[in-house]
Chains A and B, each alone.
Chain A
Amino acid sequence: MIPFMRRTVMAEKTKPLPRAFAAVWAGLVYSYSLLIVLAAWEIVARAELVRPLFLPTVTSVVQQFWTLLAEGEIVLPLLVSLYRAFAGLGLAVVAGVLVGLLMARSRRFRWFCDPLVSLAFPAPKIAFVPIFILWFGIDHLSKILLVAFNCVFPMIVATYHGAVAVSRTVIWSAEAMGTPERKLLYRIIFPAALPAIFSGLRVTTPVALIIAFTTEMIAGGGGVGAALMFAQRFFQTPTVFVYILIMLATGFVLDHLMLTLRAWLIPWQDEGGEA
């Protein structure tokens, strides 16, 4: 890039527009493709090029959203789903970080866990739904544990790689100064592995949501996923769209929260460039 070319163009342009208006305009320009998609959807649905049963209008979806919100059909299922996702994620983080750190520090533990993790990591663990239902029932527990089961392996791998990458000189100097192993773990290796752990967390947060929603879709038992399947079975297409958009918004908001949290907790490391 030639650095001086950009600056001269920018300098004059922003002046006449008021700031708030400029921000809104920039937002609209940025999301023009989304607006095109929405407009095309509305036109196709309005013109009834496809049956309303298959594609309701955007406006009817928005109306349905308000109706459902007023009936409490949105907040409660969402809270149930989020509880399952985050309880599972919490378990996975605690267990994954512990196992990952131990694998990085103990040769024998690594020997034992490595093949198990490499076998379980690529396995499509959603296939365990019937087994988890058999063991832990149809309610919260089976879903929370399945979320944890899905998230724990990426957490182990991320923590392990972060902990192994800690500079050996740092560990040696701590050991030379007589730091005991336990203190070494939580004073040096854990903080040094924190960025890697956070990258793992950013990968597993959407996984937790996906698994929570999907198990609800498969097994029922409340939550947004079950509500979505229920609406689909009764061909309430606007409701189906409302729940899909809610899942979309939840994922989007959570991803941005994770980035903010990361910037706040680990200000010395920024994930440059990633959206």
Chain B
Amino acid sequence: MAAEVARLAADAGSLRRAFHFLPVVIVLAIWQAAVSFGLVDRAFLPSVADIVAALWELVRSGELAANLLISIYRALAGLAIGSVLGVAIGLAMATSRPADRFFGPLVAMTYSLPKSSLIPLFILWFGIGDVTDILSVVLACLLPVIVSTYHGVKSVPAVIVWSARAMGSPHHLILWRILLPGSLLSIFTGVRIALGFCFVLTISAEMIAAKTGVGKLIFLYGENGAYAHMFGGLTAVVIVAYFADRALLAVMHYCLRWHDSVYAAHRDG
């Protein structure tokens, strides 16, 4: 009986999820119809079926996997380095006045700099390749994480820190057991912004100058007029970015399962 109910509930859930994504299907159907009936020129907008075929061809030849993996490696390596550095600097700024004085103006000045403008400079310094790409991703991911960590730590109630100190907790324990968990929600918000940036920066860097990567792949097919393949590469990027975002959300929900606000605040994010 209980199993039956659970199965029915699961069915209803998957049905609801399918219904939720119905609009995407509708848009794709309209797109396909518009191209099939010749309302839009095929040269400007390949049909959905053509794109799927091209994507399948890219997958089968291994061309997509090779380039996509390189891009994902660059993006995630940059994100990881940038996030770790960002949390460290944000924590330091929020807990030590000299660090705040030192990094504060630097962060304020560079926060609004479009990080992609540094790509030409990095090309000059490090040549074309992984170092340039990862470094620009690191810089782009660093700042949102610093700012959100800083605000997160600052918003931890001082009473908690005081009582920990009164009970004799050493400084590193206060950092590790109180300030870091207390600002985790805010840190994750920053990392989620950085996740968006890391793909943008990787792809821009690859489009500006690279030998490999999915950005280069899209750009090359675009320049050669193989638009179905270009859309195929693009579709792969959109899918990867979507699932990376979902995966980060899942990790965040897992890490913050003790937090009351996480369910309410991020239910529809």
Chain A residues within CB distance 8 Å of chain B: 30-34, 37, 53-54, 111-116, 119-131, 133-135, 206, 209-210, 213-214, 217-218, 225, 228-229, 231-232, 235, 237, 240-241, 243-244, 247-248, 251-252, 254-255, 273-275
Contacts and interface: CB of A to CB of B under 8 A. Distances in A.
Given A218-B204, A254-B112, A275-B108, A135 B44 contact: yes
Contacts of A34: 105-106, 109
Contacts of A218: 204, 207-208, 219
Grouping DSSP codes into helix (H, G, I), strand (E, B) and loop, the A interface class, with mixed when no group exceeds half, is helix
Contact of B117 (A31, A111, A228, A275): A228
Contact of B237 (A124, A135, A232): A124
A122 B244 contact: yes
B124 A214 contact: no
Contact of A134 (B20, B106, B208, B227): B227
A160 B23 CA distance: 18
Nearest to A50: B125
Contact of A115 (B23, B111, B124, B222): B23
Given A116-B27, A124-B196, A124-B199, A248 B112 contact: yes
Given A119-B242, A128-B234, A237-B124, A243 B117 contact: yes
Interface residues of B, number: 60
Interface of B: 20-24, 26-27, 44, 101-106, 108-121, 123-125, 151, 154, 195-196, 199-200, 202-204, 207-208, 214-215, 218-219, 221-223, 227, 230-231, 233-234, 237-238, 241-242, 244-245
B191 to A, nearest CB: 13
A134 B238 contact: no
A274 B108 CA distance: 11
Contacts of A33: 101-106
B23 A134 contact: no
A85 to B, nearest CB: 10
Across chains A and B, which 10 residue pairs bring their CB atoms closest together, nearest first? A130-B222, A251-B112, A232-B120, A124-B199, A122-B245, A210-B114, A248-B113, A123-B238, A214-B116, A124-B200
A232 B119 CA distance: 10
A130 B116 contact: no
27 contacts: A112-B23, A115-B21, A115-B23, A115-B24, A119-B24, A122-B195, A122-B242, A122-B245, A123-B238, A123-B242, A127-B214, A127-B215, A129-B222, A130-B221, A134-B222, A213-B114, A213-B117, A214-B204, A225-B117, A228-B117, A229-B208, A237-B124, A240-B121, A248-B110, A252-B113, A255-B112, A273-B154
A54 B108 CA distance: 26
A244 to B, nearest CB: 5
Contacts of B242: 119, 122-123
Contacts of B115: 210
B144 to A, nearest CB: 11
Contact of B230 (A131, A214, A241, A255): A131
B223 A130 contact: yes
Contacts of B154: 273
A168 B23 CA distance: 28
B106 A37 contact: yes
Contacts of B218: 127, 130
